[in-house]
């Protein structure tokens, strides 16, 4: 009885919705898709950081007396 609900995914991987790609059970393709999405998210985060840095450099300076 002391079994966690996530343990059933190890015993029955077809029960895990994350192992389906386009409605078909394909754990290898699902793993590849997750890796691709993770890499894309990392690249997007770096690009956003670079865009923020560039925007900060080109921000108009405020006049000291205003």
Give the pLDDT of residue 65: 61
Each residue of 2-40: b (16+ CB within 10 Å) or e? Answer: eeeeeeeeeeeeeeeeebeeeeeeeeeebeeeeeeeeee
Higher pLDDT, 42 or 62: 42
In percent, the amount of the chain with pLDDT more than 70 equals 86
Position 54 pLDDT exceeds 70: yes
Give the pLDDT of residue 2: 57
Q: Where are the domains of the chain?
A: 7-57
Q: 4, 24, 2, 1: which is closest to 14 by C-alpha?
A: 24
């Amino acid at each position: 009885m002391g079994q966690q609900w996530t343990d059933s995914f190890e015993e029955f991987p077809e029960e895990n919705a994350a192992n389906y790609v386009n409605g078909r059970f394909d754990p290898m393709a699902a793993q590849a898709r997750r890796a691709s999405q993770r890499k894309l998210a990392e690249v997007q985060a770096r690009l956003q950081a670079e865009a923020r840095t560039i925007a900060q450099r080109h921000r108009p300076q405020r006049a000291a007396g205003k």
